[in-house]
């Protein structure tokens, strides 16, 4: 967990530990970088504005290098645009002030998250998604995708040829915390399409959801 407010950092850490989580804390991005380099985690919690910069940019940069750890942003930046921006990089977004019980529930949900079924390689045409290695390739070329992009593509490939409803994709990638009327899913699918290049792999079924094939 990265949070520069010492009182809040301590309160959150104590609450999470009291609910059975092992927690490491950092007050800035440099500390987070060092901690992530030497330890393995099920999820990470970042305050957005900490010493060293905006954690959103930090996580976005790490995503481009294959960092796929589920991330919850904890922040006072609660505008719609800021939430959409945060959910395009992280996996959950909780605005201050918040209830500790809700934070614990969201962290628990992120830590439980994992690939569907047993690790396998899902294929459609020249697109391959390796659930065990958490890698996506097209034409044998490794693509850099975010954790949520991986989850959305995973569910689509697991149901290739069938339409996957928007609500199912949202539940798979964001649990229940994303408003189904939000355009975050559409933004993410657009980003994923650009990364997959031509010809198109993910198709829109208006008013219903998306499909592969």
Instruction: Round to whole Å and give the CA distance between 173 and 180.
Output: 12
**Quick check: helix, strand or coil at residue 31?**
helix
The pair of three-digit structure tokens given for residue 165, joined into one six-digit string: 């409803």
DSSP 8-state assignment for residue 205 = E
Alpha-carbon span 46 to 59, nearest angstrom: 9
The CATH architecture of the domain made up of 121-212 is Orthogonal Bundle (1.10)
In what side-by-side order are the strands of the sheet with 121-124? 121-124, 127-130, 135-138, 141-143
Q: Is 74 helix (H, G, I), strand (E, B) or coil?
A: strand
Residues of the chain with CATH 1.10.10.10: 121-212
pLDDT tens, per residue, the chain with 213 residues: 777 677 888 888 888 888 888 888 888 888 888 888 877 788 899 988 888 888 899 998 888 877 888 899 988 888 888 888 888 888 889 888 888 888 888 888 888 764 334 457 888 999 999 877 889 999 999 999 998 899 899 889 988 888 988 888 888 887 656 666 678 899 999 999 999 999 999 999 998 999 998
- CA 6 to the chain's CA centroid: 26
**Residues contacting residue 145 through CB under 8 Å, at least 6 positions apart:** 136, 153, 192, 195
Is the pTM above the cut of 0.85?
no
Fold topology of 6-112: Rossmann fold (3.40.50)
CA 16/CA 30 separation, integer angstroms: 22
- Cα separation, 135 vs 116, in Å, equals 14
Which part of the chain is CATH 3.40.50.2300?
Answer: 6-112
């Amino acid at each position: 967990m990265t949070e520069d407010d010492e009182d809040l950092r301590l309160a959150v850490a104590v609450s999470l530990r009291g609910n059975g989580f092992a927690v490491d804390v950092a007050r800035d991005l440099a500390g987070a970088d060092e901690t992530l380099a030497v330890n393995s985690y099920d999820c990470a919690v970042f305050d957005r504005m900490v010493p060293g910069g905006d954690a959103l940019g930090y996580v976005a940069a790490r995503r481009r290098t294959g960092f796929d750890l589920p991330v919850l942003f904890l922040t006072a930046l609660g505008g719609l645009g800021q939430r959409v921006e945060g959910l395009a990089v992280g996996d959950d977004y909780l605005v201050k002030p918040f209830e500790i019980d809700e934070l614990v529930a969201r962290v628990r949900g992120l830590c439980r998250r994992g690939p569907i079924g047993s690790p396998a390689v899902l294929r459609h045409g020249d697109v391959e998604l390796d659930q065990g290695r958490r890698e996506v390739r097209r034409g044998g070329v490794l693509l850099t995708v975010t954790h949520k992009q991986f989850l959305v593509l995973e569910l689509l490939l697991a149901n290739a040829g069938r339409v996957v409803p928007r609500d199912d994709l949202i539940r798979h990638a964001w649990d229940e915390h994303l408003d189904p009327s939000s355009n975050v899913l559409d933004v993410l699918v657009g980003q994923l399409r650009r990364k997959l290049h031509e010809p198109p792999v993910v198709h829109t079924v208006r008013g219903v959801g998306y499909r592969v094939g």
